């Protein structure tokens, strides 16, 4: 059965086009459309309902050591009041089972945020209390995000980058983290489900624009942010996804350490690259990439960049491939000229 977030009725009221995603019914776009929402995020501020992402809550004096043993990144690099991007790895082949954000709320309390379709999978491995359906998660993103939201939640709007705080909204405890998935400044809020519609309406009243999954995808692509199920999936290890920095090799042990070290010793099978079309042709997931007539890999994501006015995407290519090399992308039998490139494709001035 497809789940609905606490904001479902409000999305309908706002005219959203709803689509299934990760087991949830989510807004793809609102009446102004994906491109408009994308550009509003780059120039003003938008709000995303990301309540489909999971929240697993952990507490107790042994929680730090437990998560340190289970997750790839080194929690000792941060402290209470901070957030960290990390991976849950497969113990056999170092595949990225899921990429997660950890909110270290206070000394012995942690929130672990899996991707929507993976919450049950991650909980089966890690345990924790699943509080996903009792709260909404709302991302406020864009150069004006903090300024506009400060009119009614100044504490949340002031949370530092990669930090997490507790704040009060209409007398209820909420959390805000200086995180996001767009390449813009902003923050994400954990709000009790019963207050989520009021919170979202307060954002709209402050001048923030609603945005859906369509804009979220084009924004994360421009920002060079990989997506689970696309760049991160079975058969892809952190070093192959250019995410070796997410692995705490200096830790004595963690789930998947032996497997990821073995993968590096044996050599990488491929490596993640950016690909940019030389014209306006959008790039699409699954398209083969060719170098001088020889297939060298496939696109894992692709779209049209509303800001750059060209096709952009990620591709897993032969590891020896270089940057700034002219290639061709097979788009339904038509070879589209493109070039390999580094990413992000766009970087905010903030």
DSSP string, 105-145: EETTEEEEE--GGGHHHHHHHH--EE-GGGEEEEEEESTTH
pLDDT in tens, 5-58: 999 999 999 999 999 999 999 999 999 999 999 999 999 999 999 999 999 999
Q: Determine the pLDDT at residue 349.
A: 76
Q: Please, which residues have CB within 8 angstroms of residue 322's CB and are 6 or more apart in sequence?
A: 340
Please tell me the distance from the alpha carbon of residue 85 to that of residue 71, in angstroms, as a whole number. 10
Would you call the peptide bond into 344 cis, given omega within 30 degrees of 0 as the criterion? yes
Closest to 138 in 3D by CA, of 276, 27, 20, 279: 27
Closest to 126 in 3D by CA, of 53, 55, 200: 55
In this structure, are residues 90 and 256 in contact, taking their beta carbons and an 8 Å threshold?
Answer: yes
Architecture of the CATH domain 238-341: Beta Barrel (2.40)
* Mean of the per-residue pLDDT values of the chain: 97
pLDDT in tens, 182-195: 999 999 999 999 99
Helix 63-70 with 119-126: angle, nearest 10 deg: 120
Please tell me the distance from the alpha carbon of residue 344 to that of residue 88, in angstroms, as a whole number. 24
Is the per-residue pLDDT at 209 higher than 80? yes
Residue 309's beta-bridge partner residues?
Answer: none
In this structure, are residues 302 and 285 in contact, taking their beta carbons and an 8 Å threshold?
Answer: yes
Mean pLDDT across the stretch 155-168?
98
Please tell me the distance from the alpha carbon of residue 101 to that of residue 111, in angstroms, as a whole number. 8
- Grade residue 95 by pLDDT with cuts at 50, 70 and 90: very high
In this structure, are residues 10 and 197 in contact, taking their beta carbons and an 8 Å threshold?
Answer: yes
CATH number given to 3-54+132-222: 3.30.1360.120
Please tell me the distance from the alpha carbon of residue 213 to that of residue 48, in angstroms, as a whole number. 8
pLDDT in tens, 278-291: 999 999 999 999 99
Mean pLDDT across the stretch 95-100?
98
pTM over 0.85: yes
Residue 227's beta-bridge partner residues?
Answer: none
Please tell me the distance from the alpha carbon of residue 246 to that of residue 316, in angstroms, as a whole number. 18
Mean pLDDT across the stretch 258-262?
98
Strands (E), the chain: 3-4, 17-21, 24-29, 46-49, 56-59, 83-89, 96-106, 109-113, 129-130, 135-141, 164-169, 172-177, 186-192, 209-211, 271-277, 288-291, 294-305, 310-317, 326-331, 334-341
């Amino acid at each position: 059965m497809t789940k609905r977030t606490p904001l479902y009725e409000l999305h309908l009221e706002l005219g959203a086009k709803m689509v299934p995603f990760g087991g949830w019914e989510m807004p793809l776009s609102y009446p102004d459309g994906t491109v408009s929402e994308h550009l509003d995020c780059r120039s003003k501020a938008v709000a995303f309902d990301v309540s489909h992402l999971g929240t697993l809550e952990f507490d107790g004096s042994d929680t730090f050591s437990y998560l340190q043993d289970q997750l790839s990144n080194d929690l000792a690099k941060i402290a209470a009041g901070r957030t960290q991007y990390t991976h849950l790895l497969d113990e056999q082949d170092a595949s990225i089972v899921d990429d997660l954000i950890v909110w270290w709320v206070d000394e012995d309390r942690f929130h672990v945020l899996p991707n929507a379709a993976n919450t049950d999978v991650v909980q089966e491995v890690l345990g924790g209390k699943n509080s996903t359906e009792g709260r909404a998660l709302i991302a406020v993103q864009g150069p004006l995000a903090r300024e506009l939201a400060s009119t009614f939640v100044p504490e949340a709007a002031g949370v530092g980058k990669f930090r997490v705080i507790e704040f009060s909204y209409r007398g209820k405890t909420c959390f805000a983290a200086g995180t996001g998935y767009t390449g813009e400044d902003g923050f994400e809020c954990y709000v009790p489900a019963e207050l989520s519609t009021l919170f979202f309406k307060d954002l709209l009243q402050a001048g923030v624009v609603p945005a859906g999954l369509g804009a979220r995808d084009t924004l994360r692509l421009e920002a060079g942010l990989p997506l689970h199920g696309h760049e991160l999936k079975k058969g892809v290890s952190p070093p192959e996804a250019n995410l070796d920095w997410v692995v705490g090799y200096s830790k004595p042990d963690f789930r998947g350490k032996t497997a990821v070290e073995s993968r590096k010793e044996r050599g990488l099978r491929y490596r993640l690259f950016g690909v940019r079309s030389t014209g306006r042709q959008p790039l699409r997931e699954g398209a083969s990439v060719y170098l001088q007539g020889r297939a060298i890999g496939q696109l894992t994501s692709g779209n049209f960049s509303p800001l750059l006015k060209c096709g952009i995407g990620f591709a897993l290519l032969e590891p020896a491939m270089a940057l700034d090399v002219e290639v061709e992308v097979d788009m339904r039998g038509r070879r589209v000229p493109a070039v390999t490139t580094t990413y992000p494709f766009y970087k905010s001035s903030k």
